[in-house]
Amino acid sequence: MAQNGWRGFVVRAWRLYWAVAAGGFRRYATYRVATAAGVFTNTVFGLILAYTYIALWDERPGLGGYDQAQAVTYVWVGQGLLAVVAVMGGGFEDELIERIRTGDIAIDLYRPADLQAWWLAADAGRAAFQLLGRGVVPMVFGGLVFQLALPADAGTWLAFLVAVALGVLVSYAIRYLVALAAFWFMDGAGVQQLAVLAGLFFSGMTLPLNVFPGALGELARVLPWSALIQAPADVLLGERTGLALLRTYAFQAAWAVGLLALGRLVQSAATRRVVVQGG
Amino acid sequence: MREKTGSGGGTGSGSGTGSGPGPDNGFGSAPTYASRLVDGLRAYRLIAWMWIRSTMAYRASFAMTLFGNFAGTVLDFVAILLMFSRVDQLGGYSLGEVAFLYGLSTAAFGVADLTLGSMDRLGQRVRDGTLDTLLVRPAPVLAQVAADRFALRRLGRITQGLLVLGYALAVVDIDWTPAKVLLMPVMVVSGAAIFSSVFVAGGAFQFVAQDASQVQNSFTYGGTTLLQYPPTVFAKDLVRGVTFVLPLAFVNWLPALYVLGLPYPLDLPQWTAFLPPLVALACCGLSGLAWRAGLRSYRSTGS
């Protein structure tokens, strides 16, 4: 009897969050012009970065363990993933911050759905759409203009997709914390901006982290942001296979679990604040 | 937030009463271009001042975003420093020479971004219909859109650009002549005007493609990123494109290479280094025409 109830709960929860995720996917799929414009921007920046990386690797072949084709591929992977792992923000967190600021969050907390899981499902739907809508075209363009080092076997691509999914999870966990900061700051713009900066720099978006020198490089490689771009890119470039691949997954998963748990902790502290304000 | 824009408009009635009781508010008896310009600048000043006061209501947040704006561009330059921690030259240019290009591009772009950086919100206004509010006010629409959410934090980027430029001037050995000294401020002002016209043209484009503010970003932010690196890094066709089609090369590449005494990758005569003011004027004229065409094509949502 109790077991049955538990199963029913899981099935209902699965249906609910699946519907939320599908909604997230469809919602972003609606904005076709914006998607095309985003693809255009990614392509322009990819072009600029690719040329600077070519100049850099001309000067120092084998820099950071990449050959030139790998370095250029890295650029296009980064441009393809930029929107997927939301390095620049702009996902659910704008909306969540707005709801916290206006107080609508109180209604959300009454809903029979978990706040963190709800937004995670919505963000997963968004990421899935942006992987298709904004990831593929820049990659294809890069492949037409430059010589890329893309894997030929399906296994590496599959391993890459797993790393991307874990990257999205870490990215979500970070942005959830950023959004919750609005409970204390009310105006979330400052925190959001700092988070974007850290993301751009430490994800490997501006420069691959294995090119960072010395202690800065070591630090950058263990921070959570390296799970967003650097880790999936390394998997696709064939730099992580076998045991190293498992270690990469474990690294990403550990950050995801740790940051999501921290998010829960902050959430419970924050909701107590809501009660104080409301009372 | 949209709420806030509305109430901002209320306070902005200062700009309405400010434009004077005379009939020459853009309607009435044929206004001269000069009077429209004065009107526009006056409206811009009033709206911008209102936004500055509104920002200053949250001082901690302002300090944070100002720092963020500064730090964001610093990180940009840190990436270049990191590159140079591994190499001595990039495309045949030393760190000081790249810093020279970087500082000029960032300063010029920073000025344009400060004055017109809000233009990318125009598409949003077209979509939600709030542009209609601006159309009925007795002040030029361009001035109102440009001054909307005027963000003083963007001083961070200009400051950072000038600091890098100062560093470059200290380490690069330049054979100064009066012409080169004169070219420096001319470059920053014309460069800012060229970037400004890109912002305005981008705004005009948003009348047509409302969701496409990202396209504008790829020309503005993408443009300044491109100009931060030496032209020798890029493919010839790309360099030709930003010289002859979208003349970003006149922001810093051509005049800066003249100052540095370095050759331009395309075979151009030396006097082209002194063209930036003319190019800037032409760009402003063209983007002004594009803006008028865009504004005329505007059909309200009707809601």
Distance CA A171, CA A194 (A): 14
B20: contact with A, CB 8 A cutoff? no
Which DSSP symbol is given to B137?
Answer: S
DSSP code of residue B93: B
CB contact (8 A) between residue B218 and residue A98? no
φ and ψ at residue B211, rounded to 5 degrees? -90, 5
- Please say whether the beta carbons of B127 and B210 come within 8 A: yes
The highest-confidence range among A56-70, B51-65, B119-133, by mean pLDDT, is A56-70
Structure tokens at A191: 């925190």
Query: To probe the interface with B, which of A42, A51, A74 has the most B CB atoms within 10 Å?
Result: A51
Mean pLDDT on A90-119: 87
Report chain B's mean pLDDT, rounded to a whole number.
Answer: 86
Region for residue B266 given its phi and psi (left: phi exceeds 0; alpha: psi -120 to 50; beta: otherwise): beta
Minimal C-alpha gap between A150 and chain B (Å) = 23
How far is Cα A269 from Cα A259, in angstroms, rounded to an integer?
Answer: 15
Residues B260, B277: Cα–Cα separation, whole Å = 19
Contacts of B198 in chain A (CB under 8 A): none
Number of A to B CB contacts under 8 A, please give it.
107
d(CA B93, CA B110): 24
B91 touches chain A (CB under 8 A): yes
What does the pLDDT read at residue A278? 52
| Residue B261 touches chain A, beta carbons under 8 Å | no
d(CA A20, CA A263): 20
The answer to whether A212 faces chain B, any CB pair under 8 Å, is yes
Q: How far is A63 from chain B (nearest CA, A)?
A: 8
Q: Within its chain, how far is the Cα of B82 from the centroid?
A: 27
Of A47, A52, A190, the CB nearest to B64: A190
**Least confident stretch, A140-144, B123-127, B209-213, B265-269:** B209-213
At A199, the amino acid letter reads G
Is A191 an interface residue toward B (CB < 8 Å)? yes
User: Is some CB atom of chain B closer than 8 A to the CB atom of A54?
Assistant: yes
Residue type, B171: V
Instruction: Check whether B4 has a pLDDT greater than 80.
Output: no
Q: Which one of B84, B214, B227 makes the best mutation probe of the A interface by having the most chain A beta carbons within 10 Å? A: B214
pLDDT per residue as tens digits for the range B138-176: 888 999 999 988 988 899 999 999 999 999 999 999 999
Helix or strand run (H / E) with residue A59: helix A32-59
Q: Using an 8 Å CB-CB cutoff, list chain B residues near A89.
A: none
B32 falls in which pLDDT band (50, 70, 90)?
confident
Give me the phi and psi of A147, to 5 degrees please. Answer: -90, 115
* Distance separating alpha carbons of residues A41 and A242, to the nearest angstrom: 35
What is the SS3 assignment for A223? coil
Burial class (CB in 10 A: 0-12, 13-18, 19+), A162: middle
Residue of chain B with shortest Cα separation from A97:
B1
**CA-based torsion, A173, A178, A181, A186: positive or negative:** negative
B 149-188: CB under 8 A from A: none
User: What gap in Å lies between CA B49 and CA B53, rounded to an integer?
Assistant: 6
Per-residue pLDDT at A70: 97
* B68 vs B55: CA distance, rounded Å: 15
Contact across the interface for A41 and B222, Cβ inside 8 Å: yes
**For residue B68, pLDDT beyond 90:** no
pTM across the whole model: 0.88
Per DSSP, the residues of A34-47 read: HHHHHHHHHHHHHH
User: B251 near B194, Cβ under 8 Å?
Assistant: yes
CA B273 to chain A, closest CA, distance in angstroms equals: 23
Q: What is the pLDDT of residues B69-99, one digit of tens each?
A: 888 889 889 999 999 999 999 999 999 999 9
- B chain contacts of residue A63, beta-carbon cutoff 8 Å: 86
Q: Are A232 and A197 in contact (CB under 8 A)?
A: no
- Give the position of tokens 């702009």: A90
